[in-house]
A and B are shown apart, each in its own frame.
Chain A
């Protein structure tokens, strides 16, 4: 366990919100095809409200603060917010498309103690990246900003999302990151919109591509893609993830959720002090009460100890204690072993469609996985 994990574990024991993700706007100057947000402004918190919230977060013990959006640089008061966050001693991370970040902005970010900046890049080819963002010239501008940020000594990470249209470009993005001297990360999942609309899941890369990406782990492949070995009693007694335990999300409208990907309304900081929501929200307390052994089907699954199951995606599928089909698919793509949930679906399909035979069954599972990823929540 490294120091950050130790501190996270201590925060969990003490009931401290170690990290908060705060979206300061949903407005954006890009229109990424896979984005899960509605970009209209439905009444963002103003400067005073955000500064007050930052004070409440510091008082509650929040250490890691991620400022994100929408595009953070669209707020005219962005640096005023950042300055206040810096004064309050947060460890600050930013998520941005960076196209508005000039050299002076990068310098201000450095002066105001920003620890890391995550920039979204979807391809090393301008025509592909710009087709995703729908902003001509956006790749060029984002890369220029990354160079400014690097030159000022900031830690930069390129965040890429694996999609059908960009799947072949992820090695190119990794090479670009290497050339720029920054880190890169690849998210293999397009997630549903926050309002539950699942139509953008059609953009997900197909299972063969996801499998190839998982196999591209160098020396780690044996461990990463090996047959799962179930879970120990300690693992079954652990929390599914940090959402609601040591982390939570606040929207530009002051709504508090367990995580940006877990839109369970748990309170609003315009009406209630943050620490009171954190400690007393029924919803957050319910999320906190769930252990892996409480998940009816997942606790019986061979993947339970290694699955990336997201409680938020499960919630968006209709049950926060249920499986997340997208994570079942990833576990299958990674190991070749179907999850309990996929086997149940296979059984249901066999009963309905008359399939027989193990090989035919697995082929059918692959077919179902792709369809299931596109289907509405059941």
Chain B
């Protein structure tokens, strides 16, 4: 299995509230509320540490869970956050600049997609009756 690297996007709003992390996606304005395990993964996502190591250190060491199960859950979690532009996922280490650049592309794509949908809606309303 090849390594997975994860990095927090710099373009998100995030704050701890008690033991939960609140994160707002800049890509689609979705608000997330992470539990303590997810918050620990998010905070450890430095782009340089493999996800497997993060899971072992932050999840398996603190919670009673099988490593394979924890890794599967973690992969699903990071890919979900990546879909909202909150995290960057790669098969090689991610530099800060790369995390920023990927996030920016995500945001611009999102804006273009929104404009495209609007344009299509416009065409529909102008179509033959």
Contact = CB atoms under 8 A, between A and B. Distances in A.
Interface in A79-118: 86, 89-92, 110-111, 113, 115-116
Interface of B: 11-18, 20, 22, 24, 26, 29, 31, 33, 104, 107-108, 110-111, 114-115, 118
Interface residues of A, number: 28
Interface stretch (A7-15, A207-215, A234-242, A252-260): A7-15
A176 to B, nearest CB: 16
B58 to A, nearest CB: 20
A111 B107 CA distance: 9
Contact of B31 (A4, A110, A151): A4
A62 B17 contact: no
B110 A153 contact: yes
Contact of B13 (A18, A63, A110, A181): A63
B16 A61 contact: yes
A359 interface: no
Contacts of B24: 91, 115
A177 to B, nearest CB: 14
A61 B15 contact: yes
A215 B112 CA distance: 37
Interface in A1-37: 3-4, 6-7, 10-11, 14, 16, 18
A89 B21 CA distance: 12
Given A61-B16, A111-B11, 16 more contacts: A3-B33, A10-B17, A16-B18, A61-B15, A63-B13, A63-B15, A63-B17, A86-B11, A89-B12, A89-B15, A90-B13, A90-B15, A110-B107, A113-B26, A152-B111, A153-B107
B55 to A, nearest CB: 24
B111 A91 contact: no
Closest 4 CB pairs of A and B: A153-B111, A91-B13, A63-B15, A89-B14
Contacts of B15: 58, 61-63, 89-91
A18 B115 CA distance: 33
Nearest to A63: B15
A295 interface: no
Nearest to A154: B111
A63 B33 CA distance: 12
Contacts of A91: 13, 15, 24
6 contacts: A18-B17, A62-B15, A89-B13, A91-B13, A110-B111, A153-B114
Contact of A14 (B18, B110, B115, B118): B18
A18 B33 CA distance: 14
A155 interface: yes
A352 B24 CA distance: 58
B11 A63 contact: no
Contact of B17 (A11, A115, A151): A11
Nearest to B107: A153
Given A7-B33, A115-B24, A151-B115, A61 B17 contact: yes
B64 to A, nearest CB: 26
A102 B11 CA distance: 22
B29 A155 contact: yes
Contacts of A90: 13, 15
A148 to B, nearest CB: 12
Contacts of A58: 15
B29 A16 contact: no
A92 B13 CA distance: 8
Nearest to A116: B29
Residue among B13, B20, B24 with most chain A CB within 10 A: B13
B112 to A, nearest CB: 8
Contacts of A6: 33
Nearest to B30: A3
Contact of B26 (A4, A7, A18, A115): A115
